[in-house]
Amino acid sequence: MSVEVHPPGAPPVKTGRLRAWFYKRFPIEEFISDQLTGYYAPKNFNFWYYFGVLSLVVLVLQLFTGIFLTMFYKVGEATSFSSVEFIMREVDYGWLIRYLHSTGASAFFLVVYLHMFRALLYGSYKAPRELLWIIGMVVYLALMAEAFFGYVLPWGNMSYWAAQVIVNVFGTIPAIGPGLVEWIRGDYGIADATLNRFFALHVVAVPLALLLLVMLHLVALRRTGSSNPDGIEIKDHLGPDGHPIDGIPFHPYYTIKDTVGVGVFLVVFSIVVFFVPTFGGYLLEPANFEMANPLSTPPEITPSWYLTPYYAILRGIPNQRLGALLLLLAILAYFFLPWLDRSPVKSMRYKGWLSRTFLALFVIAFLGLIYAGQHGVEPIYVLIGRVCTVLYFAYFVLMPWYTRIERVKPAPDRLRFRAHA
């Protein structure tokens, strides 16, 4: 037996009695209509639009596996390292849960970087999506903090020294630096107190903040609507039903498309988890298979690959304050993108060759910094790091200039898209 319910702003829905019971007490139909069936997204999403939903998938994966790891992990200078060994060797499928979590951390950054590249490619950060972009960047900052705290928890030697180096970056702040560092550590060196508070931040504080921020990111997205590869606003052309002519309902069209993307992602992800979980030292570093030792620095200290770009910038500068300042600016620069880009068009499809060249150089610089930061301090890697640092900042600093003087192609009035025959 079915009942008809009438969500405002949506056609009447025939629904089961149980759902109708809920509908009277909870705005289920409105939610589905607002978020899925009544949310119109541009019809020309391509490959690059998979990575938003993939970051959500990885977020859920990290929360889920993280909760299970917390059931077996024992925080403490004396217990952290051995409890991770316990998880790996004695908990049934503990190795799987941990590898899912450690691979998930890298996967998170991979999909977030590709998601951000999409924004650079199609100008998704430009008006009216500045706030959406800024919230996204705060998510990225929270994610870096989350990854750093998590990295310290196994209390391997690389965990210890990563904590030492990163916490000491705050010591370069004039006047308050040394006191601030002691406050963060809660001791005169990286110690039990530090490990314990990083645990609290990693499993409670930052995940809560991340969930809230991701929700705000989606709320802002619902207001502006998604960008698209043509970089034009589909809301400029509404059909008689009040919906954008060039838009299609998110559900079922994009939920189905995303299901395929998630499937492909999970295949690749599983291959890494089951066959190459350490990824030759990139995802889990050999130096971390040794317990934290305050009296022995690993031969080469390198952070995980996803943070090496900033690390390479930091160490390439022969002045500690300037290095720390550039590190900060390298991250803050993203926040100003909406106002640095003066181009009349959003998408790289219609921008000129200068924009394309600078974006290409930026990508090369970012990859170069990842590469240089993974190596020691031999002159060649420092040099690569410095050249890439210059290219990295050139992308941002020169943007007001090159986006203004270049010749752009006119953006089309309607989306250019032909469905498969």
Partner 1 sequence: MADTGVVTDDEFVVDESRRKLLLTATAATGALGVAFAAAPFIASWTPSERAQALGLPTELDLAPLEAGQMTVTVWRKQPIYVVHRTADMVATLGNHQALLKDPQSSDSEQPAYAANRTRSRTPEYLVLVGTCTHLGCLPKAHFEPHDPEIGAYWPGGWLCPCHGSRFDLAGRVFEGSPASVNLRVPPYAFAGPRKLVIGVDQV
The reply to whether 44 sits near partner 1 by the rule CB under 8 A is no
Run of H or E including 14: strand 13-16
How many residues at the interface with partner 1, by CB under 8 A? 38
Query: What's CA 21's distance to the chain center, in Å?
Result: 39
Residue number with CB closer to partner 1 (188 or 275): 188
Residue number with CB closer to partner 1 (220 or 382): 382
Stretch that binds partner 1, among 12-20, 95-103, 255-263, 318-326 (CB under 8 A): 318-326
Nearest Cα to Cα of residue 354 among 394, 411, 413, 309: 394
By residue count, the chain amounts to 421
Nearest Cα to Cα of residue 14 among 22, 26, 3: 3
Residue number with CB closer to partner 1 (129 or 315): 315
Q: Which two tokens stand for residue 388?
A: 């890439």
Nearest Cα to Cα of residue 153 among 72, 57, 272, 214: 72
Residue number with CB closer to partner 1 (224 or 297): 297
Structure letter (DSSP) for residue 113: H
Residue number with CB closer to partner 1 (204 or 219): 204
CB of 315 to partner 1, least distance (A): 4
Strand runs (DSSP E) across 233-274, as ranges? 247-249
Binding mask 377-406 for partner 1 (x = CB under 8 A): x----x------------------------
The reply to whether 174 sits near partner 1 by the rule CB under 8 A is no
- Percent helix, percent strand, percent coil in the chain, to nearest 5: 65, 5, 30
- Candidates 92, 299, 420, 421; binder of partner 1 (CB under 8 A) is 299
Binders of partner 1 in range 104-163 (CB under 8 A) = 161
Binders of partner 1 in range 176-205 (CB under 8 A) = 182-191, 193, 197
Stretch that binds partner 1, among 18-26, 110-118, 164-172, 344-352 (CB under 8 A): 164-172
Distance CA 165, CA 154 (A): 17
DSSP SS3 for 9: coil
* Binding site residues, partner 1, CB under 8 A: 161, 164-165, 167-169, 171, 182-191, 193, 197, 294-301, 314-315, 317-321, 323, 376-377, 382
